[in-house]
Structure 1
Amino acid sequence: MKVVVIGGTGLIGSKLVEKLNAHGHEAVPAAPSTGVDTLTGEGLAEVLRGASVVVDVSNSPSFADDAVMEFFRTSTTNLLKAESEAGVTHHVALSVVGTERLQESGYFRAKQAQEELIKESGIPYSIVHATQFFEFVKGIAEAATEGDTVRLAPVGIRPVHSDDVAAAVGRTAVGTPVDGVVEVAGPDTFQLDELIREGLAARNDPRTVVTDPHARYFGAELRETTLLPGPDAHIAETGFSDWLARQK
């Protein structure tokens, strides 16, 4: 089976390509560095020739509201059009648990727009909602930092290892389209402020994490369950503390 991975040179994409090829599939990484640009359409027709499945794990280079909306609207529209012309029979996209509950955030409004385009395309699809990756703890902290203080809400989160996300996306890609959303999350539930506090301490980062119920998460105020998956989520095996220990 030929599977084209859009964003196939990034954190998740490179792991996914490796896993799919190891299982005997023809996984092709597609990114600007390989001559494929979803914003301009360059290289799409060529790379999709003979593909059964397209997996989109790409991300916007900018999180600014207008830029991220433009990225996901344009790239997804171009990609879906090229897939339709190529006869692709399964579109898989990686998105985020809680996207529909985070619409105060420009980034998540853009992700929601991406999902709506996929649902309306007529191409059989599967959307994988993942909780935040262990590797993104630093990014969450950066977004919430003012001076030497990191303000975060005490709400639930089940972070997940990127390897486990890639595995879940791979299983979905080679399976039957669900025409809906599947979720994947890590095994442990943390409070967001405690998770970032633990992650920063492991890096000897001197910033102080302040618990603030009204602290915003990429522009959105959070409720207790905003970032948590539903009861049918696939629960991955790798724990955050085990992953942290391997980073030292």
Structure 2
Amino acid sequence: MRIAVIGGTGLIGSKVVTKLKAGGHEAVPHAKSTGVDVVTGEGLEKALTGADVVVDLTNSPTFDEAAPDFFRQSMGHLLDAGQKAAVRHFVVLSIVGVDQVPELDYYRAKTLQEEILAAGPIPYSIVRATQFMEFIGSVMSWTADSDTVRLPTTPIQPIAAQEVADSVAEVAVGAPLLGIHNIAGPEVFPLDELGRITLAAGPDSRTVTTDDTAGMFAAVHGDVLTAKDDATLAPTRYADWLAAR
């Protein structure tokens, strides 16, 4: 099976390409560095020619009000090129609970991406994942100074990027779901507690202060970013992932 992985050089994309190749598939990574620009459409027709499946792992360069335009433009170009190439399956990676946080520009943008895909001409699958373990450090940096990290108590269910990639690859080689597949890590933590665990593993002398107004995740209400009963739980626990870094 020939699979075009758009955004195939990034954190998840590179792992998806490796996983697909190990399974005997012809997985081709595409990105700006390979001459493919999803915003302008440059290089897409060539990239998708002969592809059975498109996996879209591109991301908006910003998390602000510009994000919806990125996904509107990129999905338009990808769906047009995919239809012309007779692509049979279009896979997108999204976020568990993404449609439950309209307060966040980026989450509204990802919801728009899902809606455009579902209304499009190509059979599709959406893989929604919880927050990546690899991004916890970045989340902490948004509200940190030299002594303190301020974090809300928002429930988070972190998952390792490799396990996200494995799930995306598995979905990509299967029949289109015409719906959503949810995946998550095995444990739920309040974000402030997750920060304390992360600093302790450092070691890091900073302390975590609980602040339910701090950072992007302060806008999240309740446990909407955690998995529900229909989700597949990956096995890697956060402490084990930290220890293996």
TM-score normalised by the chain length of structure 2: 0.94
Are 1:161 and 1:238, in contact at CA under 8 Å, matched by a contact in 2?
yes
Secondary structure in structure 2 of the residue aligned to 1:128: strand
**Equivalent position to 2:243, from 237, 242, 245:** 245
RMSD across aligned C-alpha pairs, in angstroms?
1.6
Q: How do 1:9-24 residues align onto structure 2 when only pairs under 5 Å count?
A: 9-24=9-24
Determine the structure 2 residue equivalent to 1:186: 185
Corresponding residue for residue 215 of structure 1: 213
What pairs with 1:22-171 in structure 2 (closer than 5 Å)? Answer: 22-66=22-66, 68-145=67-144, 148-171=147-170
CA contact (8 A) 2:154 2:218 kept: no
For 1:157 and 1:127, how far apart are their aligned partners in 2? 20
| 1:40 Cα offset (Å) | 1.2
How much has 1:85 moved relative to structure 2? 1.0
Could you state the TM-score of these two structures normalised by the residue count of structure 1? 0.93
Runs of 4+ in structure 1 over 4 Å off: none
SS in 2 for 1:209: strand
Percent identity between the two aligned chains: 50
Corresponding residue SS for 2:5: strand
Q: Which runs of 5+ in 1 are unaligned?
A: none
Aligned equivalents of 1:127, 1:148: Cα separation in 2: 40
Task: Give the C-alpha shift of residue 216 in structure 1.
Answer: 5.0
Moved more, 106-115 or 149-158: 149-158
| Matched position secondary structure for 1:145 | coil
Alignment partner of 1:224 out of 209, 214, 222: 222
Contact 1:90–1:123, Cα closer than 8 Å, also in 2: yes
Aligned partner letter, 1:182: H
After the TM superposition, which of the residue ranges 215-224 and 203-212 deviates more from structure 2? 215-224
- Aligned-pair distance for 1:151? 2.7
Structure 2 SS opposite 1:169: helix
SS of 1:187's equivalent? coil
Contact 2:79–2:121 (Cα < 8 Å) also in 1:
no
Give the Cα separation in 2 of the matches to 1:227 and 1:152: 16
SS in 2 for 1:168: helix
The alignment of Structure 1 onto Structure 2 pairs a total of residues equal to 245
